[in-house]
A and B are shown apart, each in its own frame.
Chain A
Amino acid sequence: GAVVSQHPSRVICKSGTSVKIECRSLDFQATTMFWYRQFPKKSLMLMATSNEGSKATYEQGVEKDKFLINHASLTLSTLTVTSAHPEDSSFYICSATELAGFYNEQFFGPGTRLTVL
């Protein structure tokens, strides 16, 4: 089946630093990737949708200058949390779809736990 990886799985950083999270589709080409944020014991909140080679589409309330998303290739999307603060601590999950179109499923990565001190 389709596999999506994320790196790192866990990161701890100091307040004010930037953190980059990678999302890779290992055995398929991902035309669209999604970034979600999950708070403890809460559901997934879609942050943004990115299509390869174009700018990401951010959901309402998500700061695009704080959460920089790059989808430079068909197998890699990155989320950079700039000038991270403790309130950015969360579990970030990416997902990817292989082809555009309705029937194509989202395959989820294992998630990245970000802790900002």
Chain B
Amino acid sequence: AQSVAQPEDQVNVAEGNPLTVKCTYSVSGNPYLFWYVQYPNRGLQFLLKYITGDNLVKGSYGFEAEFNKSQTSFHLKKPSALVSDSALYFCAVRDWGNAGNMLTFGGGTRLMVKP
């Protein structure tokens, strides 16, 4: 079975500072990893994904994520946070062996960027 853990319910960052939102995963095979962002009363917006290749993945709105196979982690990062980045962030994983395309989501991390 596949699973995702986001150990922090909330991350607080001052505007202009770097941010990191943590994610660890567990799959039986190779992972297909995603980050999504959700604004209040809205659906999920895709930020970035990792399939294979370079461990550092760049995505939308200046976000990037680093895949670390040995630590089974896929942390989301941004060099300089904006107040408008405040939202709910979800990490998700799909196992390469999962033919049903089913995504498993982490519990979500609320990012609060203060001016």
User: A-side interface residues toward B, CB under 8 Å?
Assistant: 4, 6, 32, 34, 41-44, 46, 49, 91, 93, 95, 97, 100-111, 113
Q: Which residues of A contact B46 (CB under 8 A)?
A: 105, 107-108
Q: Is the interface of B mostly helix, strand, loop or mixed?
A: loop
Question: Which chain A residue shows the least CB distance to B108?
Answer: A43
* Size band of the interface chain B makes with A: 20 to 34
**Could you name 30 residue pairs across A and B whose Cβ atoms are closer than 8 Å?**
A32-B101, A34-B103, A41-B110, A42-B108, A43-B90, A43-B106, A43-B107, A43-B108, A44-B44, A44-B90, A46-B103, A49-B100, A91-B41, A93-B43, A97-B101, A100-B101, A101-B101, A102-B32, A102-B99, A102-B101, A103-B32, A103-B51, A104-B101, A108-B36, A108-B44, A108-B45, A108-B46, A109-B43, A110-B42, A113-B41
Known: A42-B107, A106-B101. 19 other contacts (CB 8 A): A4-B43, A32-B101, A43-B105, A44-B105, A46-B102, A46-B103, A95-B44, A101-B101, A102-B32, A102-B94, A102-B98, A103-B32, A105-B46, A105-B49, A108-B44, A110-B42, A110-B43, A111-B43, A113-B41
